[in-house]
Chains A and B, each alone.
Chain A
Amino acid sequence: MIGEDDVRHVARLARLHLEQDEVGRMTGELARILAHIDKMSELDISAVPPTAHVLDVVGVTRSDRVEPGLSREEALRNAPAVVDDCFRVPKMG
């Protein structure tokens, strides 16, 4: 059974800030989703291979040939801040 601590943990992993009333609401909603999953677990699927993808196809690959990408100007256009031709981000570590 999912509890408020689980919800806070998952929210933290996803970098979501939840107010106390939201934690309560999410706990209820997630519990209902998990109950639905549990319901499906009642099915006997021992003969069904795990599904990795909804499409029953296998992957294609590309050859190892360089194609033009973005210019540096284009690449950096969406950066909130640029220093020394790099994306500037808050200090790490």
Chain B
Amino acid sequence: MTGGDAAVRGADRIVRGMRGDWEAVIGLEVHVELDTATKMFCSCAVTKGDPPNTHTCPVCLAHPGALPVVNQRAVEYATRIALALDCTVPPRNVFHRKNYFYPDLPKAYQISQYDEPLAVDGCFDYWSGDEKLRCRIDRVHMEEDAAKLIHAGGETGRITGSEYSLVDFNRGGTPLVEIVTEPDIPSPAAARDFLQQLRELVIELGVSECNMEEGQVRWDANISVRPAGSSTLGTRTELKNMNSFRFLQQALESELPRQVGILEAGGTVEQETLHFDPETGTTTPLRSKEEAHDYRYFPEPDLVPLAMDPAWVEEVRASLPELPLARVARFAEQYGLSRADARVIAGPGALARFYEAVVAQGVDPKLAANWTMGEYLAHLNAAGLEPGHGHVTPERLAALVRLVADGVVSTSAAKDVFTKMIEERAEPAAIVAKHGLGRISDSAALGPVVAEVVAANPSQVEQYRGGKRQVLGFFVGQVMKATGGRADPAVVNELLQKALDG
């Protein structure tokens, strides 16, 4: 009863089983840690990397009698996310206690929200391949993060083999926003696209850096399958607490054929929580059914309902920046970029701002886009830099683009100039002058090179003269090679034809 026979075909929506076609139904619950100065319900600093248990107080350690007070900035940040996701923000929301025992939760409940969350009924549009997809957002609510558990005692500090666990309460109480989608995501690849673009959105809103390594963004995915074209919902399984886009996609891609295999063999999918093992690429059940959580939510008596002033909500809405999806559309329109190019450049805010600073220098937007997406982005990735950092300023990239546009340097020579701009931290024009990288258009300089190339390749000359005119391209290539890509192609063509037609 394994699903080995059913194959998942990449981003394709359809999962082919032995007995027919199936489709995936995926929903996500995304947790985002907010970049506030203080915790959700107390005035302890939110920090990263400080010595353990140096940012605690009676509230976040759950000392008896300590009372929570809501962080206004956290409400504002959560509201920004909610409004950017087109949610309705009701005039009041209510905090609930979510009860469970675990050492990272000193109160034995997490303060969260339940039937009256901060915001409901939104949607998020995102790109998957060439398609713009819409995912409905069920709700956005506020809660607090748990403390950090360190599994110690074993050699490697891994959870297995450890004799005890250690608790660091610095993270305990950090403001969290949970975004819950409807099950509208049609494929594992789309789930990955959704999360990557949601992360870009949240970064753009300035409410979280969404640092993946520090676990500032984490998510649970639920997935079920149904016959292709059907509108019923199958029994879903859950993948808990993931924070890698790639592993999410892999986990979903391994879970789909497993469910299809069970259903096609006449079995039923168990509703359970699964753990994905990246080593084996398979999922295994995490905990048994008897331990299924029963959180016994009830209204938090220590906090009265929170009123949301509609005028204030509108102020927050008015303060939202241009969102990535709108910016992609604007870039395509305003700068004449293809949609695919606009998505690369306009998706991440920092890169979009860099690009607009380049264009502001008055250079051709399309050429600027090619250089931003090509050499510049490759440089950022190689150096591990964020857009706008490093030695390549918008002014310098614009200057280089202008040299290319004006024919001062060839495109291939310009790539050398770009590399040297980083190495030498210098202006492109200065590099061209210093290294003699300018375009060679002078017939007197190119004539001998052309003559040499023609002389060195007699058989190609014969082919050309025998009527195979496309061999000209070979000669142009040779001259370019000999001049380090600096020769002016128009002059080279002219000189070559003269020499060959002779």
Residues of A that sit less than 8 Å from B by CB: 9, 13, 15, 52-53, 55, 57-67, 69-70, 72, 75-76, 83-93
Contacts and interface: CB of A to CB of B under 8 A. Distances in A.
B53 A76 contact: yes
B69 interface: yes
21 contacts: A13-B294, A15-B101, A52-B299, A53-B299, A58-B304, A58-B305, A59-B70, A59-B307, A60-B69, A61-B72, A64-B71, A66-B43, A69-B43, A69-B56, A70-B58, A85-B53, A86-B167, A92-B102, A93-B159, A93-B160, A93-B165
A8 B296 CA distance: 15
A87 to B, nearest CB: 4
Contacts of A85: 51-53
Nearest to A86: B166
Interface stretch (B147-155, B229-237, B398-406, B430-438): B147-155
A24 B491 CA distance: 101
A92 B153 CA distance: 12
Given A91-B151, A91-B153, 17 more contacts: A13-B99, A52-B299, A52-B305, A53-B299, A61-B71, A62-B71, A66-B43, A66-B45, A69-B60, A70-B56, A72-B51, A75-B56, A75-B61, A75-B169, A76-B53, A87-B103, A93-B162
B273 interface: no
Given A69-B43, A91-B153, A92-B159, A58 B296 contact: no
Interface string B275-305: 0000000000000000000101001010111
Interface of B: 36-38, 42-45, 51-58, 60-61, 69-75, 92, 94, 99, 101-103, 116, 149-153, 159-160, 162-169, 294, 296, 299, 301, 303-307
A89 B57 contact: no
Given A64-B36, A64-B74, A58 B152 contact: no
Contact of A87 (B75, B99, B167): B167
Contacts of B167: 86-89
B304 A90 contact: no
A86 B305 contact: no
Given A75-B169, A86-B150, A69 B57 contact: yes
Contacts of A93: 151, 159-160, 162, 165
A64 B294 contact: no
B388 to A, nearest CB: 27
B151 A58 contact: no
Contact of A59 (B57, B103, B169, B304): B304
A56 B85 CA distance: 31
B149 A92 contact: yes
Contacts of A62: 43, 69-72
A85 B73 CA distance: 30
A88 B38 CA distance: 25
A76 B58 CA distance: 11
Given A75-B169, A92-B151, A87 B45 contact: no
Contacts of A64: 36-38, 71-74
A52 to B, nearest CB: 4
A57 B305 CA distance: 8
Interface centre among B53, B153, B169, by most chain A C-beta atoms within 10 angstroms, is B53
Nearest to A51: B299
Given A53-B304, A61-B75, A64-B71, A72 B54 contact: yes
Contacts of B306: 58-59, 61
A52 B116 contact: yes
Contacts of B159: 92-93
Nearest to B299: A52
A19 B389 CA distance: 66
- Counting from the closest, the 9 A-B pairs by CB-CB distance are A64-B73, A69-B57, A86-B166, A67-B43, A58-B307, A61-B72, A93-B159, A89-B103, A87-B167
Contacts of A91: 151, 153, 162-165
B172 to A, nearest CB: 11
Contacts of B168: 86
Contacts of B163: 91
A74 B426 CA distance: 55
A63 B153 CA distance: 41
A92 to B, nearest CB: 5
Nearest to B303: A59
Contacts of B44: 66-67, 69
A65 B37 contact: yes
Contacts of B54: 72
Contacts of B52: 72, 84-86
A93 B104 CA distance: 13
A1 B160 CA distance: 42
A59 B72 CA distance: 11
Contacts of A13: 99, 294, 296
B295 to A, nearest CB: 9
Contact of A63 (B72, B150, B166): B72
